[in-house]
Amino acid sequence: MTTNHTNDAATKTVKIATDRFGEMEFREESVISILGGIIGFPNLVRYVLIQRPTDAPFYWLQSLDDPTLALVLVNPVLFKEDYNPKLPEGLHEELKAKPGEITLFAIVTIPAGRPQDMTANLLGPLALNPASRLARQLVLDDGVYTHRQPIIPAQP
């Protein structure tokens, strides 16, 4: 892993050589800290959110702690309009968020060679406060959502 920090007078930056995107440079204030990490990656806590192209519905969550890890995220409301899980008590305080400030993202799984079968994990959304750059992966157990929600509706 190659992570370099640059301290310009105006802006601190973080450089990383990623497997997927090559060498990239980010402003330090764009780094997201995921409290407790992500399930399966508990020690990886520093990430950046990349949207390419900038109007695409999908994002890449690139780990700064492991340049080989980049997860695909999507706003679940884009394909499941009624997605509105109950957030755990204390989450707003933990993420230093005001009411309405938390954005939920679902982690996407894309089967090799079958993008039409991609699914999203609605049971383990990533709750992000863009203002504080703090996030936490939630584990929902309300029995309403699935960890394999189809993103593209089945064709008749």
Task: Look at residue 10 and tell me whether its pLDDT is greater than 80.
Answer: no
Query: In angstroms, rounded to a whole number, what is the distance separating the alpha carbons of residues 21 and 23?
Result: 7
14-24 per-position pLDDT tens digit: 999 999 999 99
Q: What is the rounded CA–CA span in Å between residue 102 and residue 35?
A: 14
For residue 93, the surrounding DSSP H or E stretch is helix 91-94
- Kindly report whether the peptide bond that precedes residue 53 is cis, defined as omega within 30 degrees of 0: yes
Cα separation, 48 vs 64, in Å, equals 7
pLDDT of res. 4: 53
Tokens standing for residue 111: 């089967």
Per-residue pLDDT, 55: 85
Q: Is the pTM of this model over 0.95?
A: no
pLDDT on residue 59: 96
Looking at the predicted structure, is the pLDDT value of residue 154 above 90? no
pLDDT, tens digit, 9 for 90 and up, residues 111-122: 999 989 999 999
Give me the domains of the chain, ranges plus CATH numbers.
Answer: 3-150 (2.30.290.10)
Give the pLDDT confidence of 83-126 residue by residue, as tens digits: 999 999 999 999 999 999 999 999 999 999 998 999 999 999 99
By DSSP bridging, strand 119-129 and strand 149-150 are antiparallel
